């Protein structure tokens, strides 16, 4: 029987206290990893998740990471990971925002820039800290959470789509740079996943129906669908996978509107 065994692997999940990050934290801990749950703003959700996972196979601790776009904030978080977990073997770059919907011609440059800072520069800052440590120990895995919108345009969200497409290419380039050091870099592209951030869509009957029309598998994904794939990608079972994006989208990238022909 094949099992995902992450016993003793040390992980940091940015934005690890809610949504997809919490699902990743749960999955990694269930597979035996020691997990640092990155949190910002309110510590309570991270503490609640730590309490929930008490008794899991691996150790779980909260790690304060207030702003992934700030190199000093990131450096402090990684120092805490070094102290609490003794180093890092797995980084899940999950923290991100989609920003307010705004057409490019009408957009606020500061708001547009902030999405890029969080969604692209943030993962760079974290990967930079992780890569230094992983190269030194000649092992490690970095999982970048992109989106189906690294491929699919999304009107009104040009900053988000640009950041996710950039993160995809960053994944490939970084993988090329550090493969010789035993470090893998992969991306995971979720589609429509049932999280609080998009509850206004899937809780509305009309919105849900429209969304399902974009998904060939005819269901909205659950956070655990993403968490389990992250755990797999971080494990030795995926030991020959690097520099690519794995879509977890129920087929959304198959462009279901073309099922009946062009």
Is residue 79 situated within a structural domain?
A: yes
Is residue 1 situated within a structural domain?
A: no
Residue 171 has a CB neighbour count (10 Å cut-off) of 26
Segment 214-225 mean pLDDT: 96
Indicate the number of domains in the chain.
1
Confirm whether pTM is higher than 0.75. yes
| pLDDT(198) > 90 | no
Segment 198-209 mean pLDDT: 87
**Alpha-carbon distance 258 to 192, whole Å?**
19
pLDDT, tens digit, 9 for 90 and up, residues 163-188: 999 999 999 999 999 999 999 999 99
pLDDT for res 15: 97
Q: For the domain that residue 72 is a member of, what is the CATH number?
A: 3.40.50.720
Is residue 255 situated within a structural domain?
A: no
| pLDDT(240) > 80 | yes
Is residue 124 situated within a structural domain?
A: yes
Nearest CA to 17 out of 122, 120, 94, 83 is that of: 94
Is residue 260 situated within a structural domain?
A: no
pLDDT for res 260: 80
Segment 53-60 mean pLDDT: 80
Is residue 18 situated within a structural domain?
A: yes
User: Which residues face 221 on adjacent strands?
Assistant: 193
**Alpha-carbon distance 10 to 60, whole Å?**
10
Which of the residues are catalytic?
160
| pLDDT(251) > 80 | yes
């Amino acid at each position: 029987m094949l099992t995902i065994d992450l016993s003793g692997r040390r992980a940091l999940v940015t934005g690890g206290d809610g949504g997809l990050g919490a699902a990743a934290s749960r999955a990694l801990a269930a597979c035996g990893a020691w997990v640092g749950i990155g949190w910002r703003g309110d510590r309570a959700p991270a503490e609640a998740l730590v309490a929930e996972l008490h008794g899991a196979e691996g150790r779980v601790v909260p790690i304060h990471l207030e702003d992934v776009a700030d190199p000093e904030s990131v450096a402090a978080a990684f120092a805490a990971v070094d102290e609490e977990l003794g180093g890092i073997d797995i980084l899940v770059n999950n923290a991100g925002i989609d920003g307010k919907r705004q057409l490019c011609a009408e957009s606020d440059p500061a708001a547009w820039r902030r999405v890029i800072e969080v969604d692209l520069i943030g993962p760079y800052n974290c990967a930079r800290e992780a890569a230094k440590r992983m190269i030194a120990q000649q092992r490690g895995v970095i999982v970048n959470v992109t989106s189906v919108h690294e491929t699919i345009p999304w009107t009104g969200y040009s900053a988000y789509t640009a950041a996710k497409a950039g993160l995809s290419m960053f994944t490939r380039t970084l993988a090329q740079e550090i493969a010789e050091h035993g470090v893998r870099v992969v991306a995971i592209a979720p589609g429509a996943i049932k999280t609080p951030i998009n509850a206004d869509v899937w809780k509305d009957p009309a919105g849900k129906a429209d969304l399902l029309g974009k998904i060939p598998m005819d269901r909205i994904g659950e956070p655990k669908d993403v968490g389990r794939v992250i755990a797999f990608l971080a494990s030795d079972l995926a030991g020959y996978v690097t520099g690519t994006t794995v879509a977890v989208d129920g087929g959304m990238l198959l462009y279901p509107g073309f099922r009946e022909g062009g």
